[in-house]
A and B are shown apart, each in its own frame.
Chain A
Amino acid sequence: MPPSPLPFEEDIYELEQSLAVLEAAGPDAPNATELKRIRREILSLQKARFSNLQAWDTILVSRHPQRPQFLDYSGLIFEEFVELHGDRAFGDDRALRTGLARIGDFKVMLVGHHKGRNREERQQCFYGCAHPEGYRKALSKMQIAAKFGLPIVCLIDTPGAYPGIGAEQRGQSQLIATSILEMSQLPTPIVCVVIGEGGSGGALGIGVGDRVGMLQHAYYSVISPEGCAGILWKVATDETKPRAASALKLTANELLANKIIDEIIPEPIGGAHRNPREMGQSLKLCLIRWLRELTATPVETLLASRYDRYRSIGLFTEAVAAAE
């Protein structure tokens, strides 16, 4: 069954449905050439459309309900995932998962947001919006990783940290701030990939690393397009949300061009949800390549480069002083 269509692929979806009808007729259906023609047309439409997505379309792909999530990847590309639940202070945040995992020859600490794949899971996970206890858990497990020399893999997929009364009472700012500060100097390799939504501080709270990548149709932004539209145009509408999305320059291509991320991991044609297995393979190869490079680097060099990586970000001008 084809995944539910995105608004900009209605025509593709229609073709897929007629294809499904023809295929159901059996392998020796009389119109084999027609089958071929439709398959070719679907492919060429997808290729054309997905190679040139508008910012808002990217947002829709990144939020597709069938897009592979943390727990899909932990099963698809990690040989083992031993989840660790304790934050030692308040509770087990289901929106942020941590655990010991193996990928290729590497034993790592795997950290990531999970949004939930069905209604019940989504409610438990607050749609991937973590609370302070999630960030506390993530940091404590990352510190364990550093202690035992395990590299850290962070898979980012959140609309943002949870905006709620409990989250504020329990120090959302404090926990994200602490996590960012500590990650900047954890003496072990850290690799981060935005696999879906890279929502602001909630993403950055597990997003400081030696390599930062994005899946092709993921986004990463200081504020959600809805939030941005609400502030700038007072209301988030079907007209202002796409405007905000374009203005924020939040697509993988734009972030690579602005040297914020190191690499874009290509998605299967039609988006990661069309072929999670293929997506997982590309992600796995990238992660293993990074881990090889980084584990071969002395820790002092690693930390110095990590500092420089962020130190150089920012665009400003400075008039040359007449006298120094």
Chain B
Amino acid sequence: MSVGEQPKRGVPEGLWVRCPGCKVTVFKKDVQARQNVCPEPNCGHHFYTSARDRIAQLLDDASFEEWDAEVRPLDPLGFVDRIPYSKRLVEEQAKTGMFDAAVTGKGFIRGRGVVLGITDFAFMAGSMGSVVGEKLTRAVERATEHRLPLILVSGSGGGARMQEGIFSLMQMVKVSAALARYQKAGGLYLSILTNPTMGGVAASWAFQGDLTLAEPKAMIGFAGARTIKNTIRLELPEGFQTSEFLLKHGFVDRIVHRQDLRTEVARIIDYCQLKG
């Protein structure tokens, strides 16, 4: 089973959706009512969830105050592949209603103030370019200044964004350096890994949490499965690069079902208070 699989063709659009986990065609409303988790017993497949939905799921109602919503991408390299990057950005913006892949801000989880940053897979696979790097860095800096717990939710299958080249690679350092200062100042950083978290995002902020949580069966790793296959010319083991694989090998602290995330996060915050 591939986690990010699209529903099969032939399934009527709109009301129904075929679950990639259990292959059962389920009522979309039932999925949405369960925070985009498959309602079938013994399945619990976690569907893609947008940054906006995630905010609603995690934070107290209407408590979110968005930051830096006006930060927009440019095309630092004049990058052209099949279409120019500048054109691709416009298309992605039209498709998602977002300027770029990250949403950041402040809110409350069961009354506990937090800084929250999310990358949304829908926008260029959640990849990190200058805007994602800048927004996350500002969020970390403000969390440091306001002495608030920090939660970053990664849905970045794209890693560092290729179309911004070396600028994207350097965002890994920019965010990391801010996180280093935040952690030195005693702040709690909870990293929540969701499907998918790969490449340069995994190799920077996603794996720099004081504690690392992951949603079930998310695809998480450094190198893409295809790259690994082409390099070693062997079949990859079952369940390779999943949350469960990372838990088993010691790189994730807990696998948390989406419906329990709010409770778990609130509980951890209560244990890990800033000193002084």
Partners in one complex: yes
User: Which A residues touch B134, using CB under 8 A?
Assistant: 314, 316
Tell me whether A221 and B130 are in contact in the complex, defined as CB-CB below 8 angstroms, given that A168-B221, A319-B70 are known contacts.
no
Please pick, from B70, B167, B207, the residue contacting A258 in the complex, using a CB distance under 8 A.
Answer: B167
Quick check: B232 and A165 within 8 Å, CB to CB? yes
What is the chain A residue whose CB lies nearest that of B221?
Answer: A168
| B180 on the A face (CB < 8 A) | yes
**Which among A164, A177, A232 has the highest number of chain B CB atoms within 10 Å?**
A177
Quick check: A222 and B251 within 8 Å, CB to CB? no
User: Which B residues touch A260, using CB under 8 A?
Assistant: 166-167, 170
A72 CB → nearest B CB, Å:
26
- Name which of A9-17, A144-152, A242-250 contacts chain B: A242-250
Q: Which of B148-171 contact A (CB under 8 A)?
A: 160-162, 164-171
- Report the bound CA distance from A321 to B71 in whole Å: 11
A285 CB → nearest B CB, Å:
26
Please pick, from A184, A222, A223, A231, the residue contacting B176 in the complex, using a CB distance under 8 A.
Answer: A184
Please pick, from B171, B176, B232, the residue contacting A314 in the complex, using a CB distance under 8 A.
Answer: B171
Please pick, from A201, A228, A231, A250, the residue contacting B172 in the complex, using a CB distance under 8 A.
Answer: A201
| B270 on the A face (CB < 8 A) | no
Quick check: A247 and B167 within 8 Å, CB to CB? no
User: Which A residues touch B200, using CB under 8 A?
Assistant: 200-201, 222
**Which among B72, B177, B232 has the highest number of chain A CB atoms within 10 Å?**
B177
Please pick, from B74, B171, B184, B223, the residue contacting A167 in the complex, using a CB distance under 8 A.
Answer: B223
Q: Which of B215-236 contact A (CB under 8 A)?
A: 220-224, 227-228, 231-232, 234, 236
Quick check: A247 and B79 within 8 Å, CB to CB? yes
| B19 on the A face (CB < 8 A) | no
Q: Which of A220-263 contact B (CB under 8 A)?
A: 220-223, 227-228, 231-233, 247-250, 255, 258, 260
User: Which B residues touch A314, using CB under 8 A?
Assistant: 129-131, 133-134, 167, 170-171, 174
- Report the bound CA distance from A315 to B160 in whole Å: 14
Quick check: B169 and A222 within 8 Å, CB to CB? yes
- Report the bound CA distance from A167 to B131 in whole Å: 30
Quick check: A184 and B177 within 8 Å, CB to CB? yes
- Report the bound CA distance from A319 to B222 in whole Å: 35
Chain B interface residue bracket vs A:
35 or more
| A295 on the B face (CB < 8 A) | no
Interface mask (A185-205 → B, CB under 8 Å = 1, otherwise 0): 100000000000000110011
| B12 on the A face (CB < 8 A) | no
A286 CB → nearest B CB, Å:
20
- Name which of A42-50, A109-117, A272-280, A305-313 contacts chain B: A305-313
Q: Which of B57-92 contact A (CB under 8 A)?
A: 68, 70-74, 76-77, 79-82
Tell me whether A317 and B240 are in contact in the complex, defined as CB-CB below 8 angstroms, given that A173-B206, A176-B222, A222-B165 are known contacts.
no
Tell me whether A173 and B176 are in contact in the complex, defined as CB-CB below 8 angstroms, given that A178-B207, A255-B166 are known contacts.
no
A253 CB → nearest B CB, Å:
13
Quick check: A311 and B227 within 8 Å, CB to CB? no
B149 CB → nearest A CB, Å:
18
| A28 on the B face (CB < 8 A) | no
Tell me whether A173 and B131 are in contact in the complex, defined as CB-CB below 8 angstroms, given that A201-B200, A204-B169, A316-B72 are known contacts.
no
- Report the bound CA distance from A314 to B164 in whole Å: 9
| A38 on the B face (CB < 8 A) | no
| A171 on the B face (CB < 8 A) | yes
| B276 on the A face (CB < 8 A) | no
- Report the bound CA distance from A316 to B79 in whole Å: 15
| B25 on the A face (CB < 8 A) | no
| A174 on the B face (CB < 8 A) | yes
Quick check: B222 and A161 within 8 Å, CB to CB? yes
Quick check: A233 and B82 within 8 Å, CB to CB? yes
Please pick, from A165, A172, A250, the residue contacting B236 in the complex, using a CB distance under 8 A.
Answer: A165
B249 CB → nearest A CB, Å:
5
User: Which B residues touch A228, using CB under 8 A?
Assistant: 162
Quick check: B206 and A181 within 8 Å, CB to CB? no
User: Which A residues touch B122, using CB under 8 A?
Assistant: none
Quick check: B72 and A201 within 8 Å, CB to CB? no
What is the chain B residue whose CB lies nearest that of A306?
Answer: B177
Quick check: A172 and B72 within 8 Å, CB to CB? no
| A169 on the B face (CB < 8 A) | yes
| A170 on the B face (CB < 8 A) | yes
Besides A173-B221, A314-B167, 7 other A-B contacts (C-beta < 8 A): A171-B250, A176-B203, A223-B160, A232-B82, A314-B130, A314-B131, A314-B133
List residues of chain A with CB under 8 Å of any chain B CB. Answer: 161-165, 167-174, 176-178, 180-182, 184-185, 200-201, 204-205, 208, 220-223, 227-228, 231-233, 247-250, 255, 258, 260, 306-307, 310-311, 313-319, 321
Could you list 13 A-B pairs, sorted by A, with CB under 8 Å?
A165-B240, A171-B251, A173-B220, A177-B204, A178-B207, A181-B177, A181-B179, A222-B164, A233-B81, A249-B166, A260-B167, A311-B177, A315-B74
